[in-house]
Structure 1
Amino acid sequence: MGSKGTRSPLESALRALTRATRDRPDPTELWKTLIDLASPKTADATVALVLGAAVEQALEIAISTHFVLDRDGCARMFEDEEIAPIPTFAAKIRLAYALGIYEKHIRDELNLLKGIRNAFAHAKADTKFTDKHIAQACGFLWLPQRWHPMGPPSGQQAIRDLDTPREKFVTSAQFLFMYLEHSDNGEKPKSFSKSGSYSPLAHPGT
């Protein structure tokens, strides 16, 4: 380890990796990425990991509107370190629900999406949306039953099957990103059922 006040090359490299995890892409550019990933040519793991990260970032934006901190202070609340108050996707989902940002069935959708993302992230072998356990989980996503996805890149709509597990995941992630990121308009997020931007969605099971 380096002496006090200096860092070894290894320490500097590790700190650079940590800083990279804190970078937050512009939401508009991130939305374009979500649309582009609708392409059937994109690998399943890339879809799951990138869309999962995009929804998690949008969740941070929604939660941050309740803080009295500046941008840097908000970022430190979510840093990927043990000392961060809100370090995990699961903790963010629970906190946003407690703040009234969304209702129970949206919380459950986020938890399901997180679980699918984690299955790809921690898999020891090549994982596909057609794998039995992934496909079964995607079948429980209910937002695709209520919302049509935003259009994919030009010319690709005809070759997309919107009933596949992969497309259900993409549709759910796109909707959740839109709803949560919309909170970055200077107003505190409202309860999902009271949002002026989206009509209330009743869960099919209610």
Structure 2
Amino acid sequence: MSFEISGLYSLGKVFDPTSLKKSLDTWNQKGHATTALTTITKLEMLLEKAVKLHFKNKSRKLMDKLFDYRGPAGSFSAKIDLAYALGAVSQNSYETLHVLRAIRNDIAHSDIEVDFASTKLDRHFKKLSDKTDREVTFLASAVDCIIDINKKLEPLYLAQALGEYKKKS
């Protein structure tokens, strides 16, 4: 699978496109379930970072309480909703993230093996694209969300860096 990605940031650090391509190729060799679960886990981590950057009180104790799996921001769905409410994702990414979440949930919680070609996922993929290659559609949709999130985060990273610089001066 050829995948050209540049200018991405992952959790606040520049994400090397070659490294990302290697990761995608490795996940794809392990199957669709691994691709879906791993991709969504990475997206969820980035989304949590995006949400946390908007908070004023960032004490570790409070963050642990909020983002604990039982906390109000513990689920992927809650993180998506919070990110959208805070302006950390566009409406298009908000909708796409919920579709990707639904795909991940159907794959992860199925009694039978589900892959991207499964009819069980038809309703989700219809919301994403008309393309026939669902694996590419899934990954491209995730990458589009990553790009959107990072565009929204860049000013926050800059403000954070300037704030830290001012403290040192």
- TM value normalised by structure 1: 0.59
The AA in structure 2 aligned to 1:105 is N
Does residue 36 of the first structure (1) align with residue 25 of the second (2)? no
Residues 59 and 181 of structure 1 are in contact (CA less than 8 Å); yes or no, is this contact kept in structure 2?
no
* In structure 1, distance between residues paired with 2:132 and 2:36: 17
| Percentage of matched positions with identical amino acids | 24
**After superposition, what is the alpha-carbon deviation per residue over 1:40-82, rounded to whole angstroms, capped at 9, x for unaligned?**
42311000001011111111111111112347357412122x2
Identify if the C-alpha distance between structure 1 residues 65 and 54 changes in structure 2 by more than 3 Å, giving closer, same or farther: same
* In structure 2, distance between residues paired with 1:185 and 1:163: 33
Residues 67 and 74 of structure 1 are in contact (CA less than 8 Å); yes or no, is this contact kept in structure 2?
no
Decide which of 48, 67, 78 is 1:78's aligned counterpart.
Answer: 67
* In structure 2, distance between residues paired with 1:45 and 1:119: 10
Number of matched residues? 145
Aligned residue number for residue 137 of structure 2:
168
What secondary structure, in the 3-state scheme, does the structure 1 residue paired with 2:111 have? coil
Identify if the C-alpha distance between structure 1 residues 137 and 60 changes in structure 2 by more than 3 Å, giving closer, same or farther: same
* In structure 1, distance between residues paired with 2:23 and 2:119: 22
Decide which of 97, 104, 118 is 2:105's aligned counterpart.
Answer: 118
Aligned residue number for residue 56 of structure 2:
68
Residues 93 and 107 of structure 1 are in contact (CA less than 8 Å); yes or no, is this contact kept in structure 2?
yes
The structure where helix makes up a greater share of residues is 2
Residues 93 and 110 of structure 1 are in contact (CA less than 8 Å); yes or no, is this contact kept in structure 2?
yes
Unaligned stretches of 5+ residues in structure 2: 1-10, 158-169
Unaligned stretches of 5+ residues in structure 1: 1-24, 146-161, 189-206
Aligned residue number for residue 114 of structure 2:
127
- TM value normalised by structure 2: 0.70
Q: CA RMSD in A?
A: 3.1
* In structure 1, distance between residues paired with 2:17 and 2:42: 8
What secondary structure, in the 3-state scheme, does the structure 1 residue paired with 2:89 have? coil
* In structure 2, distance between residues paired with 1:85 and 1:66: 16
Q: Which has the larger radius of gyration?
A: 1
